[in-house]
Structure 1
Amino acid sequence: MHQATQHPRSGLRRWAALLALTLLALLTLSGCVRVQAALAVSEDDLVSGQLVVAQVAIKQGDSGPALTIPPELKGKVRAQSYTADGYVGQTVSFQGLSFAEITVLSDAITAGKQYRLSFRRSGDLVTMGGSVDLTELPADRADIQVKVTFPGKITRTNGINDNGTVTWKPKPGAVTEFDAAVQYTDKSGVSWTKWVTIVGASAIGVALLVLALAFFTHRRSVRAAGPPTVRRY
């Protein structure tokens, strides 16, 4: 019986998939994992901060987990090697990312979507949501902490709020959800007083424009009528 010949590219794809699964298993099961995130949200909905993703070196020359930076964020995000306390990995620093760009970065740098983070604004309310999946990580092999500083009043959170900075310390063996809601002050938008001033100035401007148009229209009509007729008695 004739045996089908396997295409070389098909074999390469299988090897690549196997290698990716192996790297993921090494990250979640071998050695301790360190994930530290420190973010600051500004009043104009921009996020800056630093993210460390590392693990204890398995062998000599181990560089830890490799993170992928999306091409569209190359100019705003910088990655460099991280080495401390026997951990190896990468530090990702970023400045002035929009809420949408934070979601893109979060989705890109994590294998298997273990880490998820997003921000949304609705009027003066900004909400943060996310999660970290540590279900496959042993209890004694994690050093994970997330800190986010907000500019407004925190109205709801499941983290520890310390004067506007919320901290989460996810536990191994479970999925930890991140949740926070922040009420922004008038500084983050147009205040009521400023709005009244703008509207008042606009009304005055419209009134002056109407008067000017009336004046020029009157002068034009006078010119069209010609010089006044002098009556002789």
Structure 2
Amino acid sequence: MQLNLGLTVNDDDTVSGQLLLTAPKSVLKQRNPDPAVAFAELRPNIPSLPPGAETRYEDATSYGIQITYRKTPLAQFTSESVNLVRDEDLIRFSLPLDPNKYGGKFGQQDPRQQQAFMTLMAFEISVTFPGRVLDTNGTVTGRSVSWKVVANQPKPAELRAVAQAPPPPATSPAAVVTGNGSFPWLPVVAAVVVLLLVVAVAVVLLVRRRSRGAVPPAATTTGPVPAGTGAPPAPGAPAAPAPPAGPPA
């Protein structure tokens, strides 16, 4: 059987890609004329795979299943075979090639068959990470790591890779931390100081503008109105005395 896998780890801690598990039709038909039935009999020999949208796959020479991953949360991408996990600021990929995990159905009959089943397995894997690749036993191309393990050849104990991970998506202000796990107090304090200075300057400018634009109030008098101004007496006030009459003619 052959396992083909192409995955991309996204910045938001999700995984997208496809997994293809197939077997040659020529081998399947030796077990059963119906490839679907023969494949179903062989599949229990493969460790569990990360769950996803599964469909049937078939071409001229192979038959199997295809699993599609669309923004699958990284926390759910674990299985007995393929594993992708976040370890603080690292993302770790692993695919154990332990014969004890393969050929389980054959192993119930003869444990030696497990090693034979693993020898016949082929793997073609590619994983693209959001950050720089730090360690792997595969081939690195930029931020991608690939492995090609052919059938009937010695195999490593596992396929592995470690890459840098972006900061986890912040869900609240408390989730924002620096690289050493502490809250970034210095930038926050600096931002508050700048904001207070801006507010103080705005208040000073506003006060000055109001002071320059103010008009002094008109002068008012509190004494009696001079005579001869022609102003009528206030309602209810006694009339002013008439001037004395002149001498008789």
Scaled by the length of structure 2, the TM-score of the pair is 0.52
1:137 to 103, 108, 117: 117
Q: How many residues align?
A: 161
What is the Cα deviation at residue 158 of structure 1? 0.8
Unaligned runs of 5+ in 2: 100-114, 171-175, 179-183, 200-249
Alignment partners' CA distance in 1, 2:118 and 2:71: 35
Q: Secondary structure at the match of 2:97?
A: strand
What is the Cα deviation at residue 207 of structure 1? 8.9
Alignment partners' CA distance in 2, 1:69 and 1:118: 12
2:19 to 43, 48, 51: 51
| 2:138 aligned partner | 159
Alignment partners' CA distance in 1, 2:91 and 2:49: 26
Alignment partners' CA distance in 2, 1:174 and 1:180: 16
Alignment partners' CA distance in 2, 1:184 and 1:117: 15
Alignment partners' CA distance in 2, 1:187 and 1:101: 16
- 1:116 to 1:184, Cα distance in 2 relative to 1, 3 A: closer
Q: Secondary structure at the match of 1:129?
A: strand
Q: Spell out, residue by residue over 1:6-45, the C-alpha distance to the aligned partner (whole angstroms, 9 max, x if none).
A: xxxxxxxxxxxxxxxxxxxxxxxxxxx1210000001121
- 1:186 to 1:36, Cα distance in 2 relative to 1, 3 A: same
Q: Aligned pair 1:147/2:126, yes or no?
A: yes
- Tell me if structure 1 keeps the 8 A contact 2:131–2:163: yes
What is the Cα deviation at residue 157 of structure 1? 0.8
Amino acid aligned to 1:61: D
Q: Spell out, residue by residue over 1:130-164, the C-alpha distance to the aligned partner (whole angstroms, 9 max, x if none).
A: 3134533275x443211101121111111101121
Q: Aligned pair 1:92/2:57, yes or no?
A: no
- 1:138 to 1:158, Cα distance in 2 relative to 1, 3 A: closer
Q: Secondary structure at the match of 1:137?
A: helix
| 1:60 aligned partner | 33
- Tell me if structure 2 keeps the 8 A contact 1:117–1:131: no
What is the Cα deviation at residue 50 of structure 1? 0.3
Unaligned runs of 5+ in 1: 1-32, 108-112, 210-233
Q: Spell out, residue by residue over 1:168-196, the C-alpha distance to the aligned partner (whole angstroms, 9 max, x if none).
A: 1235464541221212467988798xx66
Amino acid aligned to 1:118: L
What is the Cα deviation at residue 206 of structure 1? 8.1
Q: Secondary structure at the match of 1:136?
A: helix
Q: Aligned pair 1:182/2:163, yes or no?
A: yes
Identity percentage of aligned residues? 21
Q: Which has the higher helix share?
A: 1
Q: Secondary structure at the match of 2:85?
A: strand
- 1:206 to 1:127, Cα distance in 2 relative to 1, 3 A: farther
Structure of larger gyration radius = 2
- 1:201 to 1:96, Cα distance in 2 relative to 1, 3 A: same
- 1:187 to 1:98, Cα distance in 2 relative to 1, 3 A: closer
Q: Spell out, residue by residue over 1:65-107, the C-alpha distance to the aligned partner (whole angstroms, 9 max, x if none).
A: 458888xx6xxx211111124211100001111222110xxx3
| 1:201 aligned partner | 191
- Tell me if structure 2 keeps the 8 A contact 1:118–1:130: no
- Tell me if structure 1 keeps the 8 A contact 2:49–2:82: no
